Amino acid sequence: MASAARVDLDGNPIRPITICMIGAGGFIGSHLCEKLMSETQHKVLAVDVYNDKIKHLLEPASLPWAGRIQFHRLNIKHDSRLEGLIKMADLTINLAAICTPADYNTRPLDTIYSNFIDGLPVVKYCSENGKRLIHFSTCEVYGKTIGCFLPKDSPLRQDPAYYVLKEDESPCIFGPIEKQRWSYACAKQLIERLIYAEGAENGLEFTIVRPFNWIGPRMDFIPGIDGPSEGVPRVLACFSNNLLRREPLKLVDGGQSQRTFVYIKDAIEAVVLMIENPTRANGQIFNVGNPNNEVTVRQLAEMMTQVYSKVAGEPPLETPTINVSSKEFYGEGYDDSDKRIPDMTIINRQLGWNPKTSLWDLLESTLTYQHRTYAQAVKQAMSKPIPSS
């Protein structure tokens, strides 16, 4: 259980607070709730439409943190209870979003409404009631790197100044309007600007988090098992689904895009530091990622194939990957960024945080969970006869 003598980074005793966590039932929310229950004395008002991923924290009533977490089932779009919950809390954390690339250009209206319009009341209620806000944005707000516009043979492409992404310096560069894949990034950037303006004009205390591919157990869903059969989750769950079904992993446009990946447990430590060190976190935008875990999507697929073979005790497929076009996989209007490498200067200076877990270790932990959780269910689903039309 949590110690009573915990102190912040400046040596001050940490006072237990009440946190209104919107989107508490999701991937990030479930891990954050676990950390807050097991290692702190903070209270959580967990707001979401589903609670499957946090059920183990809500029952039975004999849990050591019983009474410190309450689940409130509501949709923030149309519920008058939201302002009351924000008023009851010292801090609001907004995790709610549509954040699956397959939706950005197939459901652009839902994406814009979810990530901008639906978040407006949260910002408004926090500002009007003098409540602190930690808002989860995305690394996608950076869009494309400056380097991607240089000639392919330019030596400047290797210069970090052209691709490392800095919260206070890097421009946000999106594709043309017809590339609706940028609907998500644009909506997220606009609400960041609104929050920043509320801080400047009305004194809102805020922190903005830009996650760079947080990976771990309970991320997304496996199509046909705990999500829609036709659903397309993010890359880790997509590749996990292929591995569980012993299908080749699909590489969009050859898997040449480069990404960094950070373990969810490392990232959650950063969020707790933000929660408990408001004087260091207020008014800041933080990249939260691991620049040491950079790979191409193709390299990620190859590594996941090796790790899953070890975890599952199965030989890897003879043909582990196949190439598909972005149009075929995501539909019309898809576009992508070439690299996403976070600069860590600000979060390291303000909070002293650095990620610890290597890419191999985080994949081993995550794929062990995926295998234990889904392998049997996937086998059963695959053994069922397909109904004739």
277 contacts 317 by C-beta, under 8 angstroms: no
Q: For the chain, where are the E strands, in sequence order?
A: 18-22, 43-48, 69-73, 91-94, 132-136, 164-165, 206-211, 214-215, 249-252, 258-260, 262-263, 284-288, 294-296, 321-324, 341-342
Q: Single out the catalytic residue among 104, 142, 184, 334.
A: 184
Q: Which of 285, 141, 264 is nearest to 214 (CA)?
A: 264
The two tokens of residue 72 are 């409130």
Task: Give the C-alpha separation, 111 to 115, whole Å.
Answer: 6
What percent of the residues of the chain are helix, what percent strand, and what percent coil, each to the nearest 5? 45, 15, 40
Spatial contact of 247 and 302, defined as CB atoms under 8 Å apart: no
Q: 385: cis peptide before it, omega within 30°?
A: no
Comparing C-alpha atoms, which of 371, 372, 276 is closest to residue 35?
276
| Residues 50, 188, 139: CA angle, nearest 5 degrees | 95
Give CA separation, 249 vs 245, 301, 319, 364, in Å. 10, 7, 9, 17
Q: What's the farthest any 2 CA atoms get from each other in the chain?
A: 68
**Helices and strands (H, E) in the chain, number of each type:** 14, 15
- Angle between helices 359-383 and 235-244 in degrees, nearest 10: 50
Please state, in angstroms and rounded to a whole number, the distance separating the CA atoms of residues 139 and 135.
13
- Give the closest residue to 342 by CA, choosing from 104, 182, 168: 168
330 is a catalytic site residue: no
**3-class state of residue 293 by DSSP:** coil
Beta bridge partners of 321: 249
Active site residues per annotation: 184
